[in-house]
Amino acid sequence: MMLDLGQHPLVRVLERNTTEMTPEAQIELLLDRDERFVIMMTRPSEQNTDDTPQNRKSRSKFFKANKQRLRKLCAAAILIEEDKHVPKPIKAMAWALSKAFGIPFHFVPDESTALDFAARYVKFEKRASPSDCCIAAS
Measure the CA–CA gap between 76 and 40, rounded to whole angstroms: 8
Residue 91 has what pLDDT? Answer: 85
What's the distance, CA 29 to chain centroid? Answer: 14
Characterise 127 by phi-psi region: left (phi > 0), alpha (psi -120 to 50), beta (else): beta
- The SS3 call for residue 87 is coil
Q: pLDDT-based confidence at 128, cuts 50/70/90?
A: low
Distance (Å, whole) CA 25 – CA 88: 30
Average pLDDT score, the chain: 84
In this predicted model, what pLDDT tens digit does every residue of 20-43 receive, in sequence order?
898 899 999 999 999 999 999 987
The pTM score is 0.82
Mind listing the domains of the chain with CATH numbers?
Answer: 2-137 (3.40.525)
